[in-house]
Amino acid sequence: MSPYTPTRFRLRVSAGPSADPKDLKLITVNDDANPLLIESDEFIGQIVVRIRGLDKTYGYADGQAEDGLKTMSDSPWFTKPGGDNNLSSIQISGRFKREWPGDQIVFGNQFERPLKLPPFSSIALKFVQFIDPGLKADIYCERPWAFSPLIATMNTINVAGWHIDPAAQQRVEQSGGDKAKERLENELPPWPSPEGEHIVEDTNILFQKDNLKKQEEEQQKRKEQEEQQRQEDANSGEDKEELVETRSGSKLTESTPHNMTSSARRSYFAREVNLTKHRYRPDHVYGFDFFNPYLDFAHFTLKVPGFSVDITKYWDGQPLTYILKTADSSVVFMAFQFEMVPVKDITVE
């Protein structure tokens, strides 16, 4: 048998305010303590990418040195509850700089030319759409794509209020120098996961106005019920105070979005009527975590229940690009690029 040189690959990850190569910066995967700051006219945020087992892959150390990046072992994110079964995580913490309708912000993949797809691709797509009902895709067109509403596709979302000090912000803007650190301190809270901590699902702030309105309606309904009960008691002479308390519990409370689980939030915003009512606001800080147990970036394998696909057999040179953008593509907020880089292998007999 004549010797041959098989091709192996390593992973190179970059991120930036757009998918344009000139805007992308190489990042060190699994570096929880040093998130990359991404800022544009429309968005400011910090990001970390985590990939299980990346440091144990062929060519990793040499590749990091070639790219001018440090080596990192697995993030402790994978050892914490909720991370043990997952293979990757893309975490974002940031703010939109103006208000956007909920149905206008999407997250997903875009390719620049047709894909060489493995068998059963349509089945795999249906499986993903079962998990993410809001996903819309065309993987067979000239520029394949797959996007979902941001708030319905993220595995975990944490939303908190944020208020910029106008005086401090004005000082930064008028300074004229490179004040990235000072600007960050004034526009974003500290990165929430310096040691791989998981963010906690919390979207209660999104429903505060609705909750207040429904509480007022509930209080009014309770007053009417109590008044009605007093009249009935006066007429009958019976003490029905306990019954009043039971009857005064309003169904409005049960239907109010409050303390939603991740699954409940995704189902809620998968409904267009709820999605279109939502607004992304500049005074909210959004924490997003997008993770999955199916795509193994370290070994370039797609693991779907029932079968596993070696991605290297179908790779045509295109990177896998995740984009956070508007639905009409008029604005891109950030992009993540996962690139397969050939690595010289040993000669095999």
Task: Encode pLDDT of 112-122 as tens digits.
Answer: 999 999 888 88
Band (pLDDT 50/70/90 cuts) for residue 227 is confident
Residue 286 lies in a domain: yes
DSSP per residue over 275-295, as a string? Answer: HHH-EE-TTEEEEEEEEESSE
Nearest to 103 by CA among 281, 260, 269, 256: 269
Asked whether 72 and 63 are in contact (CB, 8 A), the reply is no
How many structural domains does the chain have?
A: 2
Task: Answer with the one of 193, 224, 253 that is the final residue of a domain.
Answer: 253
Residue 349 lies in a domain: no
Nearest to 200 by CA among 252, 259, 264, 141: 259
Q: Which of 68-82, 152-166, 168-182, 307-321 has the lowest mean pLDDT?
A: 168-182
Nearest to 11 by CA among 328, 221, 292, 296: 296
Question: Do 245 and 339 sit in the same domain of this protein?
Answer: no
Residue 187's pLDDT is what? Answer: 77
Residue with tokens 């800080």: 285
Residue 136 lies in a domain: yes
Give Cα separations from 269 to 126, 166, 337 (angstroms): 19, 33, 27
Q: Which of 35-39, 195-199, 300-304 has the lowest mean pLDDT?
A: 300-304
Question: Do 91 and 238 sit in the same domain of this protein?
Answer: no
Residue 71 domain boundaries: 7-203+260-344
Question: Do 335 and 275 sit in the same domain of this protein?
Answer: yes
Question: Do 169 and 266 sit in the same domain of this protein?
Answer: yes
Question: Do 245 and 292 sit in the same domain of this protein?
Answer: no
Residue 122's pLDDT is what? Answer: 87
Residue 21 lies in a domain: yes
Range 220-246 average pLDDT: 59
Q: Which two tokens stand for residue 249?
A: 């519990």
Question: Do 243 and 104 sit in the same domain of this protein?
Answer: no
More confident call, 234 vs 105 = 105
Band (pLDDT 50/70/90 cuts) for residue 127 is confident
Q: Which of 155-164, 254-263, 272-281 has the lowest mean pLDDT?
A: 254-263
Question: Do 217 and 329 sit in the same domain of this protein?
Answer: no
The string over 307-333, giving b where at least 16 C-beta atoms fall within 10 Å of a residue's C-beta and e elsewhere, is eebebeeebeeebbbbbbbeeeeebbb
Proportion of the chain above pLDDT 70, given as a percent: 79
